[in-house]
Amino acid sequence: MDKRELYEHLAKIYLDSSKKHQKRQQNKQYLIDSRHLYIVLTVFILVIIPFILIKINTFHRKSDLGLYNTALVIQPDAVKINYNFFAAKKEIYTLPLKGLDLSAYKALAFSLRKMKENSDISLRIELANAFNERAASYVGDISPGWKDYKIDLSVFKNITDWTCAKELLFIAEEWNAKEKNDVIYIENVRFLK
């Protein structure tokens, strides 16, 4: 064997082993990338999917008001009316409806709960349109746990034009409460078709 053949033989051995080494490095890189993928998928499964299931469960918990195909959600998150009748005669929470056309809807639905077990209050629900026609209905029997309520829009008899709704009010009034202070939570306000 002369020098050239020896050189080619060594180059062949070296280059072949170098390619094998590169393939091993690539396989390790894929292994590291797949580990990252497994970590991301695990986090997704453990965090995101339970969150989605909780939201779906919450929706089903609040949707057992009858067979309505469509709901126009006005206020999905819980808000609170913290009433203290030592300072005022009533507390009001207003949802602006901004000229919403409610003519195709049949009912108003929402969920309520109060903080104190022993307090007793009826909440006034008032609707107004752009022509300042106002109508109200009362909801009683508010419990410390979430409870769904549905009011047919036909109850609001003073409103003749449903094409331009102005506002929806939740009103806690002193004369309608056993206790002088409590907290009422309102959630998932929607109109049902």
* pLDDT band for position 121 (cuts 50, 70, 90): confident
Residue 101 has pLDDT above 80, yes or no: yes
Rg (CA), the chain: 32
CA angle 63, 67, 73 (to 5 degrees): 45
CA 128/CA 135 separation, integer angstroms: 7
In tens, the pLDDT along 166-183 reads: 999 998 888 877 777 788
Residue 98 has pLDDT above 80, yes or no: yes
CA 41/CA 176 separation, integer angstroms: 53
- 3-state DSSP call for residue 94? strand
Query: Who wins on pLDDT, 20 or 181?
Result: 181
Residue 78 has pLDDT above 90, yes or no: no
* pLDDT band for position 90 (cuts 50, 70, 90): confident
Residue 126 has pLDDT above 90, yes or no: yes
* pLDDT band for position 75 (cuts 50, 70, 90): low
